[in-house]
């Protein structure tokens, strides 16, 4: 190979373009809870990254940005069992509250068994239900005493 040819690159310095046929087809989704489940949500996330990444280098940057995010430390603080319950209540999904059980066909009614309110969801459980008033007052007083700004 002569010197002139060796100095001339055979390809450009631009990052190669990504083919846009790397998208996955989402299955037909009827419910929000299914849309938020693992497979559809990760498929949608993948397709979004592909859509926003015209080149290989931008694709790598999006992946690095995604995986370098620091998770919220509150999601890992304390006992695993408490974190699991916290997550279930926060997402209004798959908790033992009757609204969630009703949504998953595991209960005949979403009503609260303590006060007969028509829906026992996490908001009702934490802020409304009179069955937990005493516990709620202790909880709120302890939170208030933490002096969190
Ligand atoms: Zn209640």
| pLDDT 10s digits, 34-49 | 888 888 888 888 888 8
47 in any annotated domain:
no
Higher pLDDT, 127 or 66: 127
Ligand 1 centroid, distance to 127 Cα (angstroms): 10
Q: What is the C-alpha to C-alpha distance for residues 126 and 145, in angstroms, rounded to an integer?
A: 19
| pLDDT 10s digits, 48-67 | 888 888 888 988 898 888 88
Ligand 1 centroid, distance to 117 Cα (angstroms): 6
Ligand 1 centroid, distance to 7 Cα (angstroms): 77
59 in any annotated domain:
no
Ligand 1 centroid, distance to 119 Cα (angstroms): 8
19 in any annotated domain:
no
Q: What is the C-alpha to C-alpha distance for residues 58 and 36, in angstroms, rounded to an integer?
A: 26
3 in any annotated domain:
no
Quote the number of domains for the chain. 1
119 in any annotated domain:
yes
129 and 120 Cβ atoms separated by less than 8 Å? yes
2 in any annotated domain:
no
pTM beyond 0.85: the answer is: no
138 in any annotated domain:
yes
141 in any annotated domain:
yes
Residue 4 has pLDDT above 50, yes or no: no
Higher pLDDT, 43 or 92: 43
User: CA dist 145 to 11, 100, 149, Å?
Assistant: 65, 32, 11
Question: The domain containing residue 99 runs over which residues?
Answer: 73-145
């Amino acid at each position: 190979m002569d010197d002139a040819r060796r100095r001339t690159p055979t390809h450009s310095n631009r990052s190669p373009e990504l083919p846009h046929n790397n998208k996955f087809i989402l299955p037909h989704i009827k419910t929000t809870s299914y849309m938020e489940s693992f497979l559809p949500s990760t498929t949608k996330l993948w397709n979004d990254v592909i859509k926003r990444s015209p080149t290989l280098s931008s694709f790598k940057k999006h992946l690095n940005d995604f995986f370098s995010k620091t998770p919220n430390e509150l999601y890992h603080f304390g006992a695993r069992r408490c974190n699991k319950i916290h997550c279930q209540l926060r997402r209004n999904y798959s908790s033992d509250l009757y609204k969630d059980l009703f949504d998953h066909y595991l209960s005949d009614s979403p009503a609260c068994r303590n006060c007969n309110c028509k829906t026992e969801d996490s908001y009702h459980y934490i802020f409304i239900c009179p069955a937990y008033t005493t516990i709620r007052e202790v909880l709120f007083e302890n939170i208030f005493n933490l002096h969190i700004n």
